[in-house]
Amino acid sequence: MWKVSVTDRPVFAATSAALATVSGNTAFAFTGFSSTTEGVWVSGTAIPDPARARSEITQSFEVEAGKGFSVTLDVTGATASVVPEELMVDLYGEPLNLEARSLILYGEVATETAAVTTPGSEVNAIWSALPTSGATATVYPGFSW
Partner 1 sequence: MPAGADVGEVHYAAVKAVSASQNYVALFECTVKAAPVPEPEVVEEESGVMGAVITTALVTAAIAAALFFFVL
Neighbours of 67 (CB within 10 A): 12
Of the candidate spans 13-21, 33-41, 111-119, 123-131, the one that interacts with partner 1 by CB under 8 A turns out to be: 33-41
| CA distances in angstroms from 71 to 10, 26, 30, listed in the order given | 14, 9, 7
The residue within the footprint of partner 1, chosen from 4, 6, 98, 137 (CB under 8 A), is 98
* Shortest Cβ 113–partner 1 spacing (Å): 23
Query: C-alpha angle with apex 113: 108 to 119, nearest 5 degrees?
Result: 145
Please check whether residue 107 is in contact with residue 13, taking contact to mean a CB–CB distance below 8 angstroms.
yes
- If one asks whether residue 119 binds partner 1 (CB under 8 A), the answer comes out as no
Of the candidate spans 3-11, 12-20, 97-105, 116-124, the one that interacts with partner 1 by CB under 8 A turns out to be: 97-105
Query: Please, which residue, 4 or 65, has the CB nearer to partner 1?
Result: 65
d(CA 107, CA 143): 6
Please check whether residue 96 is in contact with residue 89, taking contact to mean a CB–CB distance below 8 angstroms.
yes
Assign 50 to helix, strand or coil. helix
- If one asks whether residue 44 binds partner 1 (CB under 8 A), the answer comes out as yes
* Shortest Cβ 18–partner 1 spacing (Å): 19
- If one asks whether residue 64 binds partner 1 (CB under 8 A), the answer comes out as yes
Neighbours of 33 (CB within 10 A): 15
Query: Please, which residue, 39 or 127, has the CB nearer to partner 1?
Result: 39
Instruction: Name the site residues for partner 1 (rule: CB under 8 A).
Output: 22, 28, 30, 33, 39, 41-50, 53-54, 56-69, 71, 73, 75, 77-83, 87-88, 96-98, 101-103, 134, 141, 143, 145
